[in-house]
Structure 1
Amino acid sequence: MVLSMTGFGRSVKTVQQMQITVEMRSVNHRFCEISVRMPKNFFSLEEKIKKAVQSYINRGRVELYITVSGEGLFSRTLNVDWSLAAQYIDALNEMKRRFHIDDSIRFMHLLHDEHIFEIQEVANENEELECMMLEAVHEAANQLLEMRAAEGSKLKEDLLKHLEALEQIIEHIQSRASIVASNYRDKLQKRLSEFITGNIDENRILLEVAIFADKSDITEELTRLESHLSQFRKTIEKDEPIGRKLDFIVQEMSREANTIGAKGNDSAISAFVVELKTVIEKLKEQVQNIE
């Protein structure tokens, strides 16, 4: 099955008076890389969350965002530094005496001082919340996988069209390759007749044609190219990560196309090779999206 490496998944869960939202998106990447952003009081769950996502994803970069909102997530305690508050009041009274200030000391003068009043926030342990968070991660990951499968199905259709185009081009090259040596023989004989009067050494012509045919023979390259197409078709039907293997096959296709272009010794074959490389490049671009 062909799976794309791009997708999106989302899940929202409610437990008690709190709401958990899990969102994840995946993009292309050579390996499996998972980035998790979540409230710091749940950092202990990070490895479990990554393992949960890895059970759905084999390749690609996944960015996962978890938010928790609502009441009951934290307990808050107000701490007052009474000693510091007393020093503040003493200092204010001394300032009044020294500078002859008539204003009275008010509570508001101290209220907003973060050094005197401190709110301490402690996360409440909640096993039900943690279990629900992992459940939301699984739901979002499953949704992500469904989207990757849907995108992969479209990719597969496109890949098959490109393979059909390659097969047609290969047929054209094969048909042309079968007459290249014969055309060369006719051209050679015509050129020789223009410069040589009398009988032309037929054996010499046959030898030159044989040498040319050997140098320009692309039978092996075409056979290997057809083999790569067959491997490609078989691979996209496998129920496993196939992106890297397909990428390797496409590289081999490109190598054979370059060799055919170098050995073809024919303008028509050269034109077909340009088409061949164009389609192979399209294959390569699409393969980069496959898990």
Structure 2
Amino acid sequence: MHSMTGFGRGSATADEGTATVEIACVNRKQAEVVIQLPRELNELEARIRRAVLNTISRGRIQVSVQFDRSSGAPAPVSVDLRMVDALEAAFETISRHTGRNVCPEAGDFLRTSGIIRIEESGLAAETVWGAIEHALEVAIEQVLEMRSAEGSDLAKDLSTRLTALEKTAAAIATLAPGRPERYREVLTKRLRDAGLELDLQDERVVREIGIFADRCDISEEITRLDSHFRKFREYMTGEEPAGRPLDFLCQEIHREFNTIGSKASDAAIAQHVVEAKTELEKIREQVQNVE
């Protein structure tokens, strides 16, 4: 089981310079990847996103990529040859018009805007991708290590709290069978207090107790709770991301305890239900951190 929070940083050096990748992950129901890249490397965004989503399935993942050129690496220079030809043609036109030979000099080409361009960084995506990819792998590995470590701590806490829920459910299961007998005693007392002396074997009393016993039967809810608890532990120890399944199970467990509380009509069982809901709320808060 993995947590959704983590941080990783990787760097790699190539002839062109050094790539640095930082990844920060926080909680989120769905997977959201936000990538910050130098403008000239925007074409690499799809590759980076794919690499991240291949290993991280849930959370908000912030990826920051920086590439620092080597101090000795020359900035690339580009020449617009069409403008060069146009400038040459313009001087030829001037020569024909004036009847004398007017030739452009080096300064004319340098002063003409757009003929010679010096790129600010000159980063070529394919050239630097190898270094960025390696730095990205290192950063992802660190993120996974941190998420795994935090996930282990979460698993221990969830296991402890789940054990408490199991004990509460077991206590409720122990109290449940005696509920019809307690109801019979209460019913008998109320009849006596009302001055109605009825035989406990009276068909009306037996039918009333039978209806109550059927209405307050929580054996199905206890069985489903046991099943949910087992499934919860299976997801916690499985290899697949468990956050969404665990969140769903928390909802189902809450529903079963709610039903038990409404059906049992018993103060002792109601107290256990309140305790279970309190513990379950803590579990749900922790589950929100699970990938």
TM range (shorter): 0.7 to 0.9
Aligned equivalents of 2:196, 2:205: Cα separation in 1: 15
What does the per-residue CA deviation read over 1:173-219, in whole Å, with 9 as the maximum and x for residues that have no partner? Answer: 11221211111111111221223365535323222211111111111
Tell me the equivalent position of 2:240: 240
SS of residue paired to 1:244: helix
Aligned equivalents of 2:117, 2:127: Cα separation in 1: 26
Shift of 1:59: 1.6
Residues 1:16 and 2:33 are matched in the alignment: no
What TM-score do the two structures reach when normalised by structure 1? 0.80
Tell me the equivalent position of 2:215: 215
Tell me the equivalent position of 2:269: 269
Shift of 1:126: 7.0
What TM-score do the two structures reach when normalised by structure 2? 0.80
Tell me the equivalent position of 1:75: 76
Residues 27 and 233 from structure 1, CA distance in 2 versus in 1: closer, same or farther, beyond 3 angstroms? same
Residues 1:178 and 2:177 are matched in the alignment: yes
Taking the TM superposition and a 5 Å limit, the aligned residue runs for 1:251-270 are 251-270=251-270
Aligned equivalents of 2:197, 2:125: Cα separation in 1: 105
Residues 19 and 182 from structure 1, CA distance in 2 versus in 1: closer, same or farther, beyond 3 angstroms? same
Greater Cα shift, 53-62 or 159-168: 53-62
Taking the TM superposition and a 5 Å limit, the aligned residue runs for 1:55-74 are 55-70=54-69, 71=71, 72=73, 74=75
Taking the TM superposition and a 5 Å limit, the aligned residue runs for 1:89-104 are none
Q: Which amino acid aligns with 1:170?
A: A
| Preserved contact between residue 53 and residue 138 of structure 1 (Cα < 8 Å) | no
| Preserved contact between residue 18 and residue 73 of structure 1 (Cα < 8 Å) | no
Instruction: Give runs of ≥4 in structure 1 deviating > 6 Å.
Output: none
Aligned equivalents of 2:60, 2:196: Cα separation in 1: 74
What does the per-residue CA deviation read over 1:246-265, in whole Å, with 9 as the maximum and x for residues that have no partner? Answer: 11111111111111111110
Q: What is the RMSD of the two structures over their aligned residues, measured on CA atoms?
A: 2.4
Segments of structure 1 that go 5 or more residues without pairing to the other structure are 79-114
| Preserved contact between residue 56 and residue 142 of structure 1 (Cα < 8 Å) | no
SS of residue paired to 2:76: strand
Shift of 1:31: 2.2
Segments of structure 2 that go 5 or more residues without pairing to the other structure are 80-112
Aligned equivalents of 1:4, 1:151: Cα separation in 2: 6
Tell me the equivalent position of 1:136: 135
